[in-house]
Amino acid sequence: MNLIEKIALGALHKIDPERAHGLALMAMKAGVVPMPGVVTSDRLKTKFCGMEMQNPVGLAAGYDKNATVVDALTQAGFGFVEVGAVTPRPQSGNPKPRLFRLTEDQAVINRFGFNNEGMEAAAARLTRRSHRRPVPVGLNLGANKDSDDRAADYVRVFETCSPHVDFATVNVSSPNTEKLRDLQGADALRGLLSGVLDVRAGQDKYTPVFLKIAPDLTDAELAEVASVAQEVDVDAIIATNTTLSRDDLKSRFKTEAGGLSGAPLFERSTRVLARLSELTDGKMPLIGVGGIASAEDAYQKIRAGASVVQLYSALVYKGLSLVEQIALGLDARLERDGFSHVADAVGTGRKDWL
């Protein structure tokens, strides 16, 4: 972390977290945030679900909910970027305050509730994004809180926005929209995913569809999700979203309602990832997310079964320079362990997490 970034983060941490995030987005949009170069090498270059990536380090959904700074994010060193979540109609989300820094735990709790400006606004911005940089951009799909047919909401957002993105994620794992996680049940999930995939089948452009799951599933529920994902032929699974667990936290905000992300999520999410890799016999492409704050964390996710990884919460504490640090550190670890390519390391440490 350079001095400018350290000073900026220190200043942002003195104000309300949601306001600070808004200011960070404004600064990025204005072009005043120093952007690290993209770290790449023959070991790091990755082809994932048909997409070419300069490195396997991606940005998780939630940072840019409304696709307002996509062009800036594609210059921030990420191998791929996911924006959203986006719902058919605009919605304000849950009452404030709804975002909390757990500094002692290097964690974050949020209960936003899919606050966003709606799919039409997102689609308009995604249409205008630059394609000069080889960084795939995806969209996280959500459902309106007051919707009578949430499965149909995912289809509507996909229909509207998929022509303008490189992949789409069906997010049924946010804990902040009441009963949303019920869509992870076998029958509901099968119907929802089939609806999205049926729309894709009628389009000229093939858009990879990912499924994002919760870290709080039982072994039986996880096996059910894996079975359905394979049955309908979803392209990849993202493991995992935030957790409702509150194990061994120190911060005074530890009892706040919402999804917990950051360092305390690492072990739980990595075990789910490894279990998914085992359940699918390593054949289902997996994205590892949850608690990544270092190159070693990213490497552990890959060795547990992830082909690529995503991060978000650690940026709150370590800034955008963390992306470059992780990519460089990951490359060094692959070289140290004799892997000629990141794909060769995928799943090699899975048994350590089972």
Count how many Cα atoms sit within 13 Å of the Cα of residue 131 in the half-sphere of its side chain.
Answer: 6
174 is catalytic: yes
Outline where DSSP puts E strands in the chain.
46-48, 51-53, 57-59, 80-86, 99-102, 107-110, 137-141, 167-171, 209-213, 236-239, 259-262, 286-289, 308-311
The one-letter amino acid code at 151 reads: A
Q: Could you give the CA distance from residue 245 to residue 74 in angstroms, rounded to a whole number?
A: 33
Number of H helices, E strands in the chain: 11, 13
Cis peptide before 8 (omega within 30 of 0): no
Using the CB atoms, write b or e for 63-80: b if 16+ within 10 Å.
bbbbbbbbbbbbbbbbbb
Angstrom distances, CA of residue 187 to CA of 190, 193, 214, 276, 278: 5, 10, 17, 19, 23
Q: Tell me if 120 sits within 8 A of 66, measured CB to CB.
A: no
Q: Could you give the CA distance from residue 345 to residue 261 in angstroms, rounded to a whole number?
A: 25
The catalytic position among 147, 174, 261, 277 is 174
What residues contact 351, with CB distance under 8 A and at least 6 apart?
A: none
Q: Which residues are catalytic?
A: 174
